[in-house]
Structures are given as structure tokens and as C-alpha cells.
């Protein structure tokens, strides 16, 4: 556990929360389970029902969630309007509720992780700078920290 892990977690969460997903630029991609093709890209993430919509609906969705000039409220309003246009209000409401629940869980988990960070960092530095340990013992001691503090 370290600050880089926390930064990585926050970056991934922010990326997906802003409508992003795993994206591959690959002209040769032919089979893309749960992904949607957008130009030369295949985008993973977003609501699962998106993959069953026509290309115009997918393009509209991607343009909305990719628009960095929209506030969160404006984006949500546009998403609701989009869902209404394609008769997907209930699916969109469920999707948004699930995303909010996930984000609350991530927030709780990261907050809990941060609480342990000072203690774990102190233990890691004690192991690393213990002059009575060999390099191998230091590595093993650090590795054992992940077992004593799996959170």
C-alpha cells in the first residue's frame, strides 16, 4: 500500500465516473464484447445497454460524456434527455443509481485505506532502514506487510 496506489485508484475512478472506459485505438478490432465502436476506437465502459443501440445513439452518448465543458448536473440532465429519446429512462436510472452506489463504496474504501497509510508507511520505513536486516529480509518484511494489512 502506498500513495501511488491511492492516486491510481482515484484516477481510475475519476476516469470511469466521467464516462470513460478502457479504450483501444485499433483499426483491426472486430470482436469487442461489451464495447462499442466509435470511429477507430473501441470504448469499454458505460451502460451495458449501450452496446445494443444503433451507432447514432452510441455516438450521441459518447459525445455527451466526453464533453468536458458540461457540469455534472448538465451532463446528468443531458443523459436523462438522451435516455428519454431512446426510451431508456428506467435502464438509465438504474445505471446511474448503481454508479452512485459504487462511487460511495469506493469513497468509503479509499477513506479506510488512507486511515491505515501512515501506520503502514511507518512500518515499511522501519523495515527498509533496519540495519540488522539483509536486502532479502527487507523485501520479505515489506511483502509481509501486505499480509498483515491486506486492506
- SS3 label, residue 38: strand
- How does residue 73 score in pLDDT terms, banded at 50, 70 and 90? very high
Q: Where do the domains of the chain lie?
A: 3-116
- Whether 28 has a pLDDT exceeding 50, the answer reads no
How far is residue 136 from each of residues 34, 73, 133, measured CA to CA in Å?
A: 44, 53, 8
- Whether 133 has a pLDDT exceeding 90, the answer reads yes
* pLDDT for the residue numbered 7: 58
Can you tell me the mean pLDDT for 56-69?
A: 89
Tell me the β-bridge partners of 104.
none
Can you tell me the mean pLDDT for 77-104?
A: 93
Scanning the structure block, which residue is given the C-alpha cell 445497454?
A: 49
Give pTM, 2 decimals: 0.57
Opening angle at CA 23, ends 112 and 74, nearest 5: 70
- Of 33, 1, 21, 15, nearest in space to 112 by CA: 1
List the grid coordinates of 54.
444503433
* pLDDT for the residue numbered 83: 95
* pLDDT for the residue numbered 146: 77
- Percent of the chain whose predicted confidence (pLDDT) is above 70: 68
Amino acid at each position: 500500500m502506498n500513495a501511488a496506489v491511492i492516486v491510481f485508484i482515484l484516477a481510475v475512478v475519476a476516469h470511469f465516473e466521467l464516462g470513460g472506459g478502457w479504450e483501444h485505438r485499433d483499426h483491426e478490432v472486430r470482436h469487442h464484447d461489451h464495447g462499442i465502436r466509435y470511429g477507430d476506437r473501441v470504448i469499454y465502459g458505460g451502460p451495458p445497454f449501450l452496446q445494443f443501440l444503433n451507432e447514432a445513439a452510441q455516438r450521441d452518448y459518447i459525445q455527451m460524456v466526453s464533453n468536458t465543458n458540461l457540469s455534472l448536473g448538465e451532463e446528468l440532465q443531458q443523459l436523462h434527455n438522451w435516455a428519454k429519446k431512446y426510451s431508456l429512462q428506467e435502464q438509465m436510472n438504474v445505471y446511474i443509481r448503481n454508479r452512485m452506489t459504487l462511487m460511495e463504496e469506493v469513497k468509503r474504501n479509499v477513506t479506510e485505506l488512507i486511515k491505515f497509510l501512515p501506520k503502514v508507511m511507518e512500518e515499511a520505513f522501519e523495515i527498509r532502514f533496519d540495519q540488522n536486516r539483509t536486502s532479502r529480509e527487507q523485501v520479505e518484511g515489506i511483502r509481509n506487510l501486505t499480509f498483515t494489512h491486506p486492506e
